[in-house]
Structure 1
Amino acid sequence: MKNTTKICLTLLAYVTLNLSSVQSQMQERWTVPEAQTQQRRRMWHMHLESAELYGNSTDLQYFYVNVYFGSQRHPQTLIADTGSGIAAIPCKNYCNHCGNHINEFFDIDGSQSKYIYNCKTDSGCDCHNGQYCKFSQAYGEGSSYHGFIAKDKVHFGEHHHPNEDAFEFTFGCVQDETNLFYTQKADGILGLTKSTYSHHMRPIFDVMKDNHLIEKRQFSLCLGKNGGYFQIGGYDGTRHLEEVQWIPLLQTSQYKVHITGISMNNHFIDGSAQYNVGFIDSGTTFSYFPHGLWSSFRVHFEWFCNLDNEHHCLGRMARDTNSEDREKICFVYDEKKFKEGPLDFFLSYPILNFRLKKSDRQDDYINFEWFPSEYLYRDKSNRYCIAGEVYNRGEVMMGGTMMRQHNFVFDVDTNQLGLARAQCNEDSNQVMNISSMIQKGQVYGLDPNHTESLVQVCQHRGANGVDPITYLTPVTQKIVKMTDSISVFEYLFMFFLFAALIIICCCCILQENNDEEQDKLENSDKNEFAMVPDHSVDLDETIDSESNNNPGNKQQNSKSDNKSSRSKSSQLEQNAQVQAQQQRQREQLNSSGNNSKKSKYQNKVVYKTDESGQISGIDVKRIEVNEQYLQQKKRRLRQKVLKSSRTNKKNYYVEFDKIDEASQEESAQE
């Protein structure tokens, strides 16, 4: 039991050290000493400005960031939009037709740092109401903004310094909103294209670089299923699941890439190469595909689901007669079958691979993998659908749903796009890698050892009229890079482990104390120590075992049977003293002539009693004992005597066992 206690205490000390380390890491993540705050912020902001993204691409249908305007730092929620170039918010006292949004309208008249452009004094703009420089912005679905141009101090994101992080930014002060801009919850929009059409408005990363808040014109968007993060000046790869791959952007003001083909689990979809432009637009909710490509998707999903009924498509394709849903590609979902969530459901569907051109060489491309946990969304309670729709353009619109769980790094200086699969938000149903899909039985086109994938092709012929080909590529184990900081769940686990060890240690100590008390009781029961009133045998005297067989003593004891117990006790004490004196004399004689190895023996005195409880005789037993054990026993007995003397009126003395030292030869003869 003592060893168990030592082990518990050792583990407790180890966990305490680790817990203190965890606490320090949590503090480094959340708080910084005030003395270091300004220095750290300057170093950090010279490279990267970071802010949280809120929203999603299914329910709310957009992602927004908090930006603070004016000398009063008024919060405004702006949609992060890589498809447009200007920033616009509704302004108080000027908004004639504006909807209800998350925050109150920006009070530009109450800001001491504002500047409103005047068309008579500021060149490069048209007049609005004969005085202000006007702006107007329309979008593809029919929404639009109208108003005038203003400039004021701006802070990006929640974590900013009131003075050091401020910069002057030109934006549109909205007076009229239409369609989705009128009904949306977000206050305004933040355009992020490489350049703008306005003479006075510039992208936010240009302005921040001019104000020395960042070193390069680069920003990144990591959109999760719910929330994400937005960084300007670079990117943070701590949440990446793979290394960043870089491809060139097309020479336009927008962010467009060259697509060389599309495949399903490395099964090339014939005819997909003709749709060779991908337009990255974070402000568009869904992804949009040309009609011919969408039809090919539908045919290939039907073919894939029939390849393996046991492991492919655990929800059959849904057939909709409704004209509005006829174009959707959906699958039946049974929530009772997947009680722990839809992860196993997702693992049964294929990966859509978009080959993005990396250089002029035909075989030099990267695979942008659209995993099923990202392209499937819950349309109704009993089905999941592909987060895409059909439109009449000839290019692929890579909207918010295609950007999910990827970090898109836009490098404006080098005109490149960096892509890395990531955990943009915590999602327990995210498919992490291809290996997890193979483990669930989905091997077609994924497992390099599944040679049937090379001959088991579909009969669909695309625009080129050739049988589609499946390319088996080696499965790469994508390593999840973990951050050095410890998450809240790990911190809670360490805390509960620490508490459990404390409870275990307390139980061990209590059990050990109980065992010691039990040992005391057992020893006191086994060893009967006679207690006599007043003066008993001297504690320093010992009794030889041979004296117990003396006939004279026995005769003396038998003659005194009719006397009182007190006289018996006195006579026995005298006999014991005589015997002890004889024993000491023999020890002195033996010690002078006997040099053999000595052993230790215990002479134990036991008083005999009759049926009435009166003392009738005395026995002396000779027992070999351990000296350490004897010392412990004496110590316990002294404590018992002291305790007894406090509780009883009379004084009692306990006769202790003494140790005789005699030679082994003499003990053998005796």
Structure 2
Amino acid sequence: MWGAHAAVDAPNTIQLEMSNEVARSQAVNALQGRYRYHRSMDEELQAMQTLSDEDPVGGETNEATVETALRSGSGSHTIQVLVGGQQRELIIDTGSGKTAFVCVGCNNCGSKRRHQPFVLTDNTTYVSCDRSMTFQTSRGEPACMACENGKCRYGQTYVEGDHWSAYKASDMMQLSPSFEARIEFGCIYEQSGVFLDQPSDGIMGFSRHPDSIFEQFYRQKVTHSRIFSQCLTEGGGMLTIGGVDLARHTEPVRYTPLRNTGYQYWTVTLQSVSVGDPSNTLQVDSTEYNADRGCVLDSGTTFLYMPESTKDAFRLAWSRAVGSFSFVPQSDTFYSMTTDQVAALPDICFWFKNDVHICLPSSRYFAQVGDGVYTGTIFFSPGPRATILGASVLEGHDVIYDVDNHRVGVAAAMCDQPMQAAVELSLDPGGQKFHAEFDYSEAPQWMLAGITLLAVAGLINAIWVAAATEGVEAPARPTKPAQETTTTVPNDWQGEEFSFFLMQEDDDRQPH
């Protein structure tokens, strides 16, 4: 099962190989389909012979359809694990916190998975449910969406409409023969959309969420710290849980603090974006990058997504770097180029708080979709209020996600080096540490929530007082802790289309 180089562990730390063989090709295939669609719309462009460096073919294509395919996990990295003694291949997603996979009895759940549906064992138990578990808790969300015959219904609906529904269960998950814990997961009985075509068996959540796998292993005392790192390559990479592999780094780790936006995502402050020379930055206010959900690091998304409000500034910065508007790498353009021309284009760098930066070379912001034809992979979208740095941006770096020290670390690294050749597992990578601070940009959001909670409490109290005054038996005061009976302010973004990690339900909110 594990293979010669599938896992390396030390006390309380483990390193696992990731795969991206199928998922990356699916994302590129979607771009190729977009290119073919564009060609079919204009027969005068025979084999793209009329494409020139100065005259990119853009225009409106079936963008929404193609972007939905790209944004639904097509660029995901996976790992192999054992659950209940059965092999599962699961998508690693830093943009969501739930783990779930298809179980026996799932109706119309697709047939492209690598393994047969999970069979419940004598050791598998369903998480029991009562009505109190459907209330919002101090962690900011209900433990169960609903109780059905004593089972806890669990699920996720994504903005495009894709969804999975499950019952929450628990069994032993083994990452290596000596690294295992009893974890809770969703036993999927129904799913739709892109999940029907996924070769993986399910998803493994790694966001800032109480159900995330690294959190569950920590609570089971298998690891001693809530830290993990991903070192991504185009074809796979390494996942380290409970520590960091310092031997892969080609430069020191630098840390930037996490933001408290109220969401569960790995959100950092993006201060500027440069093209070529570091001084050639986009002339926009940094609030454009950090509004609402902010700048999110998400390994479950393939490419780079930026707010549409930054598009014109990006084009101007690009023209300053290359001397013209040629080859702007936005997603709605196709260019005839040689590999040497692609290699000569400038890096695009992202600059974060505390002098941390990640640079994106041209080989990762262009994708080849035909013979000598390339398309840009930077998506400017009007719908989402966020900047998403997907796998193409994160590749070639060891990205360290550290909950306990409220930070994300970045170091250029040899992510494609064989596992046994570079293992220096460390429980504490050192470096600057941070404390959670109130995010003042989110003050209106939290004030509105507080006012709503006070209003609800006041209404309950008024009803009780009025009933007591009239001599009528008053409703019993709540006996549960106040946080279990509060209501949430409705989100206003259900109609937006976005990315794999963006959910329609309230549970994308960060646990408190």
Tell me the TM-score normalised to structure 2 length: 0.63
Q: What does 1:302-451 correspond to in 2, within 5 Å?
A: 302-306=319-323, 317=327, 327-334=331-338, 342=339, 344-358=340-354, 365-392=355-382, 393-425=384-416
**CA gap 1:385/1:169 in 2 versus in 1, 3 angstroms:** same
| C-alpha distance in structure 2 between counterparts of 1:386 and 1:357, whole Å | 27
- Residue 276 of structure 1: aligned partner: 289
Is 1:137 the counterpart of 2:102? The answer is no
Residues 299 and 391 of structure 2 are in contact (CA less than 8 Å); yes or no, is this contact kept in structure 1? yes
Is 1:247 the counterpart of 2:266? The answer is no
Gaps of 5+ in 2: 27-74, 134-142, 425-512
Gaps of 5+ in 1: 1-28, 32-39, 197-201, 308-312, 320-325, 335-341, 359-364, 428-481, 486-670
- Residue 17 of structure 2: aligned partner: 52
Residues 248 and 257 of structure 1 are in contact (CA less than 8 Å); yes or no, is this contact kept in structure 2? yes
3-state DSSP class of the match of 1:300?
helix
Aligned-residue offset at 1:86: 0.5
Counterpart of 2:299 in structure 1: which amino acid? S
Counterpart of 1:281 in structure 2: which amino acid? D
- Residue 204 of structure 2: aligned partner: 190
**CA gap 1:126/1:291 in 2 versus in 1, 3 angstroms:** closer
3-state DSSP class of the match of 1:402?
helix
Aligned-residue offset at 1:372: 1.9
Q: Which structure has the larger Rg? A: 1
| C-alpha distance in structure 2 between counterparts of 1:62 and 1:83, whole Å | 11
**CA gap 1:140/1:46 in 2 versus in 1, 3 angstroms:** farther
User: Which of the numbers 229, 233, 237 marks the counterpart of 1:224?
Assistant: 233
| C-alpha distance in structure 2 between counterparts of 1:483 and 1:45, whole Å | 14
Residues 255 and 407 of structure 2 are in contact (CA less than 8 Å); yes or no, is this contact kept in structure 1? yes
What CA deviation, in whole Å up to 9, does each residue of 1:322-341 have, x standing for no partner?
xxxx853544223xxxxxxx
Aligned-residue offset at 1:270: 0.8
| C-alpha distance in structure 2 between counterparts of 1:219 and 1:170, whole Å | 19
**CA gap 1:30/1:52 in 2 versus in 1, 3 angstroms:** closer
- Residue 103 of structure 2: aligned partner: 91
**CA gap 1:404/1:424 in 2 versus in 1, 3 angstroms:** same
Q: Percent identity?
A: 23
Is 1:79 the counterpart of 2:91? The answer is yes
3-state DSSP class of the match of 1:108?
coil
3-state DSSP class of the match of 1:238?
helix
3-state DSSP class of the match of 1:209?
helix
| C-alpha distance in structure 2 between counterparts of 1:403 and 1:126, whole Å | 33
User: Which of the numbers 216, 222, 234 marks the counterpart of 1:213?
Assistant: 222
Counterpart of 1:366 in structure 2: which amino acid? V
Aligned-residue offset at 1:112: 2.2
Is 1:103 the counterpart of 2:114? The answer is yes
Q: What does 1:512-523 correspond to in 2, within 5 Å?
A: none
**CA gap 1:186/1:100 in 2 versus in 1, 3 angstroms:** same
Q: What does 1:453-464 correspond to in 2, within 5 Å?
A: none
Counterpart of 2:226 in structure 1: which amino acid? R
Q: What does 1:54-73 correspond to in 2, within 5 Å?
A: 54-55=19-20, 58-60=24-26, 61-70=75-84, 73=85
Residues 97 and 175 of structure 1 are in contact (CA less than 8 Å); yes or no, is this contact kept in structure 2? no
RMSD over aligned CA atoms reads 3.0
Residues 147 and 176 of structure 1 are in contact (CA less than 8 Å); yes or no, is this contact kept in structure 2? yes
| C-alpha distance in structure 2 between counterparts of 1:483 and 1:105, whole Å | 34
- Residue 8 of structure 1: aligned partner: none
Aligned-residue offset at 1:128: 5.0
Residues 92 and 205 of structure 2 are in contact (CA less than 8 Å); yes or no, is this contact kept in structure 1? yes
- Residue 285 of structure 1: aligned partner: 302
Aligned-residue offset at 1:410: 0.1
Residues 224 and 423 of structure 1 are in contact (CA less than 8 Å); yes or no, is this contact kept in structure 2? no
3-state DSSP class of the match of 1:185?
coil
Counterpart of 2:412 in structure 1: which amino acid? R
Aligned-residue offset at 1:131: 3.4
Counterpart of 1:268 in structure 2: which amino acid? T
- Residue 437 of structure 1: aligned partner: none
User: Which of the numbers 159, 165, 170 marks the counterpart of 1:146?
Assistant: 165
Is 1:118 the counterpart of 2:128? The answer is yes
Residues 286 and 387 of structure 1 are in contact (CA less than 8 Å); yes or no, is this contact kept in structure 2? yes
Relative to total residues, which structure has the larger helix share, 1 or 2? 1
| C-alpha distance in structure 1 between counterparts of 2:258 and 2:159, whole Å | 22
3-state DSSP class of the match of 1:275?
helix
**CA gap 1:426/1:292 in 2 versus in 1, 3 angstroms:** farther
Counterpart of 1:383 in structure 2: which amino acid? V
What CA deviation, in whole Å up to 9, does each residue of 1:165-205 have, x standing for no partner?
22100000001111111111111001111114xxxxx2211
Counterpart of 1:232 in structure 2: which amino acid? I
| C-alpha distance in structure 1 between counterparts of 2:413 and 2:119, whole Å | 39
The number of aligned residues is 352
| C-alpha distance in structure 1 between counterparts of 2:369 and 2:230, whole Å | 25
Aligned-residue offset at 1:383: 2.3
**CA gap 1:300/1:125 in 2 versus in 1, 3 angstroms:** closer
| C-alpha distance in structure 1 between counterparts of 2:397 and 2:348, whole Å | 14
| C-alpha distance in structure 2 between counterparts of 1:328 and 1:126, whole Å | 39
Counterpart of 1:296 in structure 2: which amino acid? A
| C-alpha distance in structure 2 between counterparts of 1:126 and 1:318, whole Å | 45
Residues 87 and 188 of structure 1 are in contact (CA less than 8 Å); yes or no, is this contact kept in structure 2? yes
**CA gap 1:96/1:131 in 2 versus in 1, 3 angstroms:** farther
Aligned-residue offset at 1:293: 1.5
3-state DSSP class of the match of 2:244?
coil
Residues 405 and 423 of structure 1 are in contact (CA less than 8 Å); yes or no, is this contact kept in structure 2? yes
Residues 347 and 359 of structure 2 are in contact (CA less than 8 Å); yes or no, is this contact kept in structure 1? yes
**CA gap 1:133/1:229 in 2 versus in 1, 3 angstroms:** same
- Residue 179 of structure 1: aligned partner: 193
Aligned-residue offset at 1:304: 3.0
Residues 256 and 279 of structure 1 are in contact (CA less than 8 Å); yes or no, is this contact kept in structure 2? yes
Residues 119 and 131 of structure 1 are in contact (CA less than 8 Å); yes or no, is this contact kept in structure 2? yes
| C-alpha distance in structure 1 between counterparts of 2:180 and 2:379, whole Å | 41
**CA gap 1:306/1:106 in 2 versus in 1, 3 angstroms:** same
Structure scoring higher RCO (CA < 8 A, sep ≥ 6) equals: 2
Residues 315 and 328 of structure 2 are in contact (CA less than 8 Å); yes or no, is this contact kept in structure 1? no
| C-alpha distance in structure 2 between counterparts of 1:346 and 1:247, whole Å | 31
**CA gap 1:300/1:282 in 2 versus in 1, 3 angstroms:** same
